[in-house]
């Protein structure tokens, strides 16, 4: 299965938690996982494909990073990695950089 999920930058900025939940829920319902991000102007498209292991569940999280340097982004992503979040991608929107991370949950949660 292949699926594309689209969001405007405004939607992400106004309700990042709600958008994060909707991505998580959509992927769980369809048995997919986010494989990539395309950001053009002030819109984001998530490319999702089939999740091979039904026991693995992903929890997604959009996070505003702001207008930060490359070094800051690297440090933030390292911190997230140390807390068991995998970086799906970092992308620019009108108000600065944002990240999409995922936490892998095992079993039926």
**pLDDT at position 107:** 58
What pLDDT digit, counting tens, does each position of 1-13 carry? Answer: 889 999 999 999 9
Q: Is the dihedral of CA 24, 28, 34, 40 positive or negative?
A: negative
pLDDT tens digits along 22-80: 999 999 998 999 999 999 999 999 999 997 676 778 899 999 999 999 999 999 999 99
| Helices and strands in the chain: count of H runs, count of E runs | 3, 6
Q: 99: domain range?
A: 2-106
Please state, rounded to an integer, the average pLDDT across all residues of the chain. 91
Task: State how many domains the chain has.
Answer: 1
- Please list, in sequence order, all residues whose beta carbon lies within 8 angstroms of the beta carbon of residue 54, skipping any fewer than 6 positions away: 31
The predicted structure's pLDDT at residue 57: 84
Tokens representing 51 are 């999740």
Which one is predicted more confidently, 48 or 107?
Answer: 48
Task: Pull the structure tokens for residue 34.
Answer: 């986010």
């Amino acid at each position: 299965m292949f699926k594309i999920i689209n969001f405007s930058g405004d939607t992400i900025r106004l309700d990042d938690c709600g958008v994060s939940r909707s991505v998580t829920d959509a992927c769980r319902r369809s048995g997919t996982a986010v494989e990539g991000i395309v950001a053009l102007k002030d819109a984001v498209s998530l490319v999702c494909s089939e999740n091979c292991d039904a026991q693995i569940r992903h929890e997604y999280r959009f996070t505003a990073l702001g207008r930060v340097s490359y070094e800051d982004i690297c440090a933030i992503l390292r911190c997230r990695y140390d807390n068991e979040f995998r970086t799906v991608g970092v992308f620019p929107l009108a108000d600065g950089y944002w990240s999409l991370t995922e936490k892998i949950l095992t079993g039926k949660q």
